[in-house]
Amino acid sequence: MAMTKCKECGTEISTTADACPKCGAKQVRTSGCAKVVLGVLGFFVFVAIVGQCSRSDTSSPSTSATSASSSSATAKPAAAPTPPPPPAPGSQWRYGQDEDPMGKGTTLLAQVTSTNVVLFDSPYGGPQHGTLTLRTHPRHGKDIILGIERGQFLCRSYEDCNVLVRFDDQKAVTYAGVGPADNSTESVFIRNYSRFVSNMLKAKRVRISAEVYQEGAPVFEFDVSDFSEAKYKGKQ
């Protein structure tokens, strides 16, 4: 026989008793059907609690992601890269010295490359720069030489040609030019070295134009600022 305790005095009594034989208190009995109903209700309450916990766990990553996104949105932008320092004044010039193979002295050279590029048609196609060279040769004297990488200057070694020169924004003037003694066509020697250099030392830019076979008279522009006579003469 199943036993239970009286809810009033705690005496053990039969689960089928209507009243406690000791204190006479009436006993409330729960039917089997009621127990089943209570069990079902308890199950649904348990399921609801578990579901609520699952939703809370699932929403946590989203909350974290939202928080991370907010942090990213409010983060300070990366600092812009520091621009490289400007080139040193006069660094566009290249200076050099060559010993004369006949032992007659030293050749002094100063050269600058054009800041612009020209395009020639075939067979000399492709972009190319011009060069401006100052040369002091122990046997041949002082020269101003305009050079190109490819092409044919229309200037012969036995006949002068015209070379147009403009210093800064001054009026363009005509200098006489002559081709090299070996009859090569990629360079022209500009006459009157002293006059040219005197004007160049007072200028920052010089433009030079000479006739080129089938290309008209392309203009080459040179940055001649901060020319160093000391470096040219090999004193630095």
3-state secondary structure of 146: strand
At 11-22, the pLDDT tens digits run 776 667 677 777
Between 120 and 4, the higher pLDDT residue: 120
Contact 133, 142 (CB under 8 A): no
pLDDT of 229 above 50: yes
pLDDT at 80: 84
pLDDT at 38: 53
Going by pLDDT thresholds of 50, 70 and 90, the confidence category of residue 86 is confident
pTM over 0.75: no
pLDDT at 18: 72
pLDDT at 22: 75
Taking residues 216-236, report their average pLDDT.
93
How far is Cα of residue 110 from the mean position of the Cα atoms in its chain? 32
Which regions of the chain carry the CATH code 2.60.40?
Answer: 94-232
pLDDT at 21: 75
pLDDT at 12: 73
Query: Tokens in use for 226?
Result: 């901060």
Contact 228, 95 (CB under 8 A): yes
pLDDT at 81: 86
Contacts of 200 (CB under 8 A, 6+ apart): 167, 206, 224, 227
pLDDT at 61: 45
Q: In whole angstroms, give the CA distance from residue 224 to residue 220.
A: 12
Q: In whole angstroms, give the CA distance from residue 16 to residue 14.
A: 5
pLDDT at 57: 55
Q: In whole angstroms, give the CA distance from residue 153 to residue 220.
A: 13
Taking residues 204-220, report their average pLDDT.
96
**Judging by DSSP bridges, how do beta strands 161-167 and 205-210 pair with one another?**
antiparallel
Instruction: Tell me the pLDDT of the chain averaged across its residues.
Output: 83
Residues across the chain: 236
At 178-198, the pLDDT tens digits run 999 999 999 999 999 999 999
Q: In one letter, which amino acid is 68?
A: A
- Output the CA–CA distances (angstroms, integers) from residue 204 to 1, 90, 154, 195, 197, in the order listed: 121, 10, 28, 16, 12
Whole-number percent of the chain with pLDDT over 70: 75
At 92-121, the pLDDT tens digits run 999 999 988 888 889 999 999 999 999 998
3-state secondary structure of 206: strand
The CA angle 136-137-140, to the nearest 5 degrees, is 120
**Residue of 27, 89, 101 lying closest to 225 (CA atoms):** 89
- What is the CATH number assigned to the segment(s) 94-232? 2.60.40
At 33-74, the pLDDT tens digits run 555 545 555 666 565 665 665 555 554 444 444 545 555 556
Burial classification of residue 200, based on how many CB atoms lie within 10 Å of its CB (0-12 exposed, 13-18 middle, 19 or more buried):
buried
At 129-185, the pLDDT tens digits run 999 999 999 988 999 999 999 999 999 999 999 999 999 999 999 999 999 999 999
